[in-house]
Structure 1
Amino acid sequence: MTNKTENKKALKVPYHLAVIIDGNRRWAKERRLPIFEGHRQGFNNVKKISEEARKMGVKILTFYGFSTENWKRSKLEVKNLMRLIERAFSKKYINELISKGVALRVIGEKNRLSKNLQGKIKRAESLTRKGKNGILNLAISYGGRLEIIQAIKKIISKKIPAGEVNEDIVSKNLWTAGLPYPDFLIRTGKEKRLSNFLIWQSAYSELYFVNKYWPDFNKNDLEDAFLEYQKRQRRFGE
């Protein structure tokens, strides 16, 4: 038995794992497949990886599924992406989450989504909110800068004196209010940037970049990422 295999059996995993899903379109183009197929494979992989991470002990998962910038893509691509996103709120999948005790949350500018999708999200969040075994966050129509702006607006609307505004007040008015900050952030797709994702929350997160497109990211890659995570010493700026 190799040291790597032994280490994988005793993995130290992050409590809150955030994932930037990237590379679906390039994965499809390199295979001369329709863009939609890349997104479909990526969607299926979210379910696979979220389940593997949960089995390994991760309690909170946050996936960057659709950014505010993604609205600028072609109408057809946005339409197809929304069709895939709606599948995440199917009765079958929600029942699976309920049976596993996983609470589903959506963070982002929900009012830009269709009324039908907003309704499905509200129903899913309500049905799964009592889940005690973990939390699955889907960032949909999400932008980190926009999140901070809306937090500032909420603080102003509450008439909180400027002198009383601190990090805790801001955090409590973000879309992620009530959740701990991510311990570890993985990005696939061969790029090395945050792309406006959890820019407040990930200030002290450990970052890990994978030279693979998201549809190809698998259990072994996740284990390798956690092997790297357990080598890190988090200093929180000290």
Structure 2
Amino acid sequence: MNPLNHVAIIMDGNGRWGLNNKNSRIAGHKAGLYVVEDIINQTLNLKIKYLTLFAFSTENWRRPKKEINYLFSLLEKFLNKNLVKFHKKNIKLKILGRKNFSKKLNNLLLKAEKTTFKNDELQVNLALNYGSKYEIINAIKKIKNSNKKITIENFSQNLLTKNIPDPDLLIRTGNTKRLSNFLLWQLAYAEIFFEKKLWPDFNEKDYLKILNKFRKIKRNFGNI
């Protein structure tokens, strides 16, 4: 069976679910948050060490301002509700992306990272205001400014995922088959599962089913 150390998820379909079920994209984002809590707890129970969730991309700023503001208010409520619980469960929170939100949200994100910094049972990476192309360009600039050689190892150490192992598995819900500027370098050898269900309909059974399929895949990494 394949070892599983890091799962990455593109949580796609909240808006479409909201329109289909409540005639409101905002309702879909709220429903999707319950799934986030379930998947984090399931990942913790399975003793998987890293979980990366694509929560808000650099491209998502193009959405209506009302929807963006609601997303950030949901994130604030999520952190205020769960931070103490996560800390007690020995979960570490890390933000991948540029923290150029409101002062209130920035402070909350920094507090979440500082409070949980030493936790080591599960690391949950929230990709917020994240774009892989920007991350790659920024890594190149950092290496250039340091006058070091550009190597695979140096490059990886200058990404936002420094010291985080690359994902073994990527799950994307929402019946969309693309990476959407997410972890383009880090997903080079990941197994990818595209799930038809929209994120609010995704559940623990779906998650376990994919993980079981992953563990049975023959992974060669270039070998026979």
TM-score by length of 2: 0.95
- In the TM superposition, residue 13 of structure 1 has moved relative to its aligned partner by 6.2
- Tell me whether 1:224 sits opposite 2:221 in the alignment: no
- Tell me whether 1:37 sits opposite 2:22 in the alignment: no
Give CA-to-partner distance per residue, 1:186-232, whole Å, 9 cap, x none.
Answer: 00000111111100000000101111000000011011101210121
Alignment of 1:154-193 (within 5 A): 154-160=142-148, 164-193=149-178
In the alignment, which residue of structure 1 is the partner of 2:121? 133
Contact kept, 8 Å, 1:13 with 1:57, in 2: the verdict is: no
Contact kept, 8 Å, 2:50 with 2:122, in 1: the verdict is: yes
SS at match of 2:83: helix
Percent identical residues:
40
Distance (whole Å) between structure 2 residues aligned to residue 157 and residue 196 of structure 1: 25
- Tell me whether 1:103 sits opposite 2:92 in the alignment: yes
Gaps in structure 2 of 5+ consecutive residues = none
In the alignment, which residue of structure 1 is the partner of 2:67? 77
In the alignment, which residue of structure 2 is the partner of 1:6? none
Equivalences, count: 223
TM-score by length of 1: 0.90
Contact kept, 8 Å, 1:104 with 1:135, in 2: the verdict is: yes
SS at match of 1:130: coil
Give CA-to-partner distance per residue, 1:117-165, whole Å, 9 cap, x none.
Answer: 11111111011011121101100001111111111121122232xxx21
- In the TM superposition, residue 32 of structure 1 has moved relative to its aligned partner by 3.6
- One of 94, 106, 109 as aligned partner of 2:83: 94
Distance (whole Å) between structure 2 residues aligned to residue 120 and residue 158 of structure 1: 32
Contact kept, 8 Å, 1:13 with 1:58, in 2: the verdict is: no
In the alignment, which residue of structure 2 is the partner of 1:48? 38
RMSD over aligned CA atoms reads 1.4
- In the TM superposition, residue 31 of structure 1 has moved relative to its aligned partner by 1.4
In the alignment, which residue of structure 1 is the partner of 2:192? 207
